[in-house]
Chains A and B, each alone.
Chain A
């Protein structure tokens, strides 16, 4: 394969990687703090896509885009308050089951609202335009995604390292109970985490679905799982790790698609997960954990 042939795949890989990264951050932050795989995160991402479809149908874009972001944040916040907060002292399995329940609910709700039909995603001006890079013809969103992702991640890292809330987040993820004893309002910190995660998922969904024809109720599940794998790959709890992992997975997946093994592009992601969990369970950038009896 010459470079000209694989260039389109690499480009779309980088783009998809950026979109996965935005979702993966939501997973990794929540996992860092609550030790919970937020199965509903992928469905929040899907819900953001559906909201975009319904809102752009009746409103101009400069109203609907901020509105979608705001509504997604509210959705994430409500899910945390309604489904996870009451279970804070329950065994971990209960919270995970609750997360699966929320995911099931969101998918069914989406099925009800859309009537099971494929809804066409609105084309956003400028970023949906077609451009040509070298031999590859692609949408402008492909080029924008990585830069936007990196910009958002830098902002996020600054937020976590230099603000009071960021410091609280780090403290809570290090030690839940001690942080509480030090006077950190844990519920606020957790809500803030969900808000950040949902915000990034909303942005991610706009970038992701622009490349696809439409949104169906299950279209959040796969990207969600892949983003989670990316988070594990990079070391769960580590934001740069999640971003690097997401880019690697995005690129590999598209290269596999390019080599004609499309069936296995999803399987590859999970094979990677299992290998990484066995060889290096803490991921690329994760901190080593010790088991206590």
Chain B
């Protein structure tokens, strides 16, 4: 297939996906779980892809993602909380010290930039370390960042260990559009359209970010990253500056983790530093593994599956009823996560390549598979990429 046709097919696929979401929002109530999965899945995709850039493409095993998400989330929230609500939110710190707000888009960018600056400072000492030492050092830094954000001396900025809330969320941004008469009319005549926009917003932002990451991976920098992953010594011998490339990968990854954190804050409508524990990093790492280390589309598929299982499909395991079986004794709180971690362990042990391996989602290959042996169709659908 020619490159041009390939692009057309991909564009058609994307448009088809948007239409599917549109149809979903027309026919399903806005409280349906699928919208939650779409929103949260999109955000986790971004964070997973950013982690994949580091772990899968550059070969730096970093476990600091939750820390950078925390920075992003807090930066976003701190600078966008409207002045009116500040007294109530910073009630223990006499209204905080920041008395201005910045537009949402700027705040999102700022969230990424602040995370990247922190990453740069952390990277200076840490990136000299190798494999597991790097992992433990970045994990440690994430913990330090969490401790600092919860420190009550910084309370006037971060609100200490208390919650931050009332900043613009996806819902409030879209509902805020009603101040324009034309939008108001549109929402009134087609109420589903509001929900469609709320769902599309995070998908759109994450999508743009992921496209930027993909462009980076396909550029000469991306090839240098892969060379470093495959063999550091050889890469250095070929004239790749290890330190600067590693730093670049680390900062870029943190930038997008920061944006992801800000999006998560927008999605959740309240944030608290204590939620960004190392468990969160582990979950993102497991998403990356599930999707395939070194595959961007794999990470996206992985995160939608992960979120769908966690929030939706396996919910029944927690509430006593699953697939028609009622057993409140076994299916009680927490069982879902146990089943879930067993599934993940099985993937890690027996299916080490994950869903996509190192491949990307490719229409051409699927079509070829279909033509060659119709029997293999089933495998392809189940994702043997």
Check B341–A104 contact: CB distance below 8 A: yes
Write the A96-140 contact mask toward B (1 if CB under 8 angstroms, else 0): 111011111101110111011000000000000000000000000
**A218: B residues at CB distance < 8 A:** 277, 279
Considering residues B128, B152, B340, B349, which has the most beta carbons from chain A within 10 angstroms of its beta carbon?
B349
Q: Answer whether residue A161 sits at the interface, using C-beta atoms and an 8 A cutoff.
A: no
Within 8 A of A (CB), among B76-94: none
Considering residues B133, B136, B143, B279, which has the most beta carbons from chain A within 10 angstroms of its beta carbon?
B136
What are 16 A-B contacts defined by CB distance under 8 Å?
A90-B352, A92-B132, A97-B348, A100-B286, A104-B282, A105-B338, A105-B341, A111-B337, A112-B332, A112-B333, A112-B334, A221-B278, A270-B144, A273-B137, A278-B125, A281-B129
Check B233–A37 contact: CB distance below 8 A: no
Instruction: Please give the distance in Å from B279's CB to the nearest CB on chain A.
Output: 7
**B341: A residues at CB distance < 8 A:** 101, 104-105, 108-109
**A35: B residues at CB distance < 8 A:** 132
A6-14, A66-74, A261-269 - interface stretch:
A261-269
Instruction: Please give the distance in Å from B148's CB to the nearest CB on chain A.
Output: 7
Instruction: Please give the distance in Å from B149's CB to the nearest CB on chain A.
Output: 10
Residue of B nearest to A293 (CB): B233
A-B residue pairs, 9 tightest by C-beta: A270-B140, A112-B334, A108-B337, A105-B341, A267-B144, A267-B147, A111-B334, A263-B151, A108-B341
**A37-B135, A94-B352, A218-B279 known; A225+B140 contact, CB < 8 A:** yes
Write the B288-320 contact mask toward A (1 if CB under 8 angstroms, else 0): 010001000000000000000000000000000
Given A105-B341, A263-B152, 5 further pairs, Cβ under 8 A? A86-B349, A112-B337, A263-B148, A269-B140, A274-B137
**A100: B residues at CB distance < 8 A:** 282, 285-286
Chain B: interface size category: 35 or more
Check B333–A116 contact: CB distance below 8 A: yes
User: Bound state CA distance, A264 and B349, in angstroms?
Assistant: 37
**A116: B residues at CB distance < 8 A:** 333-334
Check B337–A96 contact: CB distance below 8 A: no
Taking Cβ atoms with an 8 Å cutoff, the residues of A that contact B are 35-37, 82-83, 86-87, 90, 92-94, 96-98, 100-105, 107-109, 111-113, 115-116, 218, 221, 225, 228-229, 232, 263-264, 266-267, 269-271, 273-274, 277-278, 281, 293
Check B136–A37 contact: CB distance below 8 A: yes
Taking Cβ atoms with an 8 Å cutoff, the residues of B that contact A are 55, 61, 125-126, 128-129, 131-133, 135-137, 139-141, 143-144, 147-148, 150-152, 233, 277-279, 282-283, 285-286, 289, 293, 332-335, 337-338, 340-342, 344-345, 348-349, 352
User: Bound state CA distance, A241 and B141, in angstroms?
Assistant: 24
**B283: A residues at CB distance < 8 A:** 104
Check A104–B137 contact: CB distance below 8 A: no
**A87-B349, A93-B61, A97-B348 known; A277+B129 contact, CB < 8 A:** yes
**B126: A residues at CB distance < 8 A:** 274
Check A228–B333 contact: CB distance below 8 A: no
Instruction: Please give the distance in Å from B318's CB to the nearest CB on chain A.
Output: 10
Residue of B nearest to A106 (CB): B341
Check A98–B144 contact: CB distance below 8 A: no
Residue of A nearest to B293 (CB): A93
**A278: B residues at CB distance < 8 A:** 125, 128-129
Check B334–A108 contact: CB distance below 8 A: yes
**B144: A residues at CB distance < 8 A:** 266-267, 270-271
Instruction: Please give the distance in Å from B28's CB to the nearest CB on chain A.
Output: 31
Check A108–B340 contact: CB distance below 8 A: yes
Q: Which of B55, B131, B334, B345 contacts A101 (CB 8 A)?
A: B345
Instruction: Please give the distance in Å from B141's CB to the nearest CB on chain A.
Output: 7
User: Bound state CA distance, A277 and B140, in angstroms?
Assistant: 12
Instruction: Please give the distance in Å from A182's CB to the nearest CB on chain B.
Output: 27
Check B132–A96 contact: CB distance below 8 A: yes
Q: Which of A37, A112, A229, A264 contacts B147 (CB 8 A)?
A: A264
**B151: A residues at CB distance < 8 A:** 263-264
User: Bound state CA distance, A64 and B369, in angstroms?
Assistant: 59
User: Bound state CA distance, A115 and B348, in angstroms?
Assistant: 26
Instruction: Please give the distance in Å from B87's CB to the nearest CB on chain A.
Output: 25
User: Bound state CA distance, A86 and B352, in angstroms?
Assistant: 11
Instruction: Please give the distance in Å from B282's CB to the nearest CB on chain A.
Output: 5
**A232: B residues at CB distance < 8 A:** 133, 136
Q: Which of B137, B282, B286 contacts A277 (CB 8 A)?
A: B137
User: Bound state CA distance, A278 and B139, in angstroms?
Assistant: 16
**B293: A residues at CB distance < 8 A:** 93
**A37: B residues at CB distance < 8 A:** 132, 135-136
Check A101–B140 contact: CB distance below 8 A: no
Instruction: Please give the distance in Å from B359's CB to the nearest CB on chain A.
Output: 18
Check B285–A267 contact: CB distance below 8 A: no
Q: Which of A102, A104, A109, A281 contacts B133 (CB 8 A)?
A: A281
Instruction: Please give the distance in Å from A291's CB to the nearest CB on chain B.
Output: 9
**B278: A residues at CB distance < 8 A:** 221
**B141: A residues at CB distance < 8 A:** 270, 274
**A98-B349, A101-B348, A109-B338 known; A267+B143 contact, CB < 8 A:** yes
Check B282–A103 contact: CB distance below 8 A: yes
User: Bound state CA distance, A228 and B279, in angstroms?
Assistant: 17
**A82: B residues at CB distance < 8 A:** 349
**A293: B residues at CB distance < 8 A:** 233
Check A104–B286 contact: CB distance below 8 A: yes
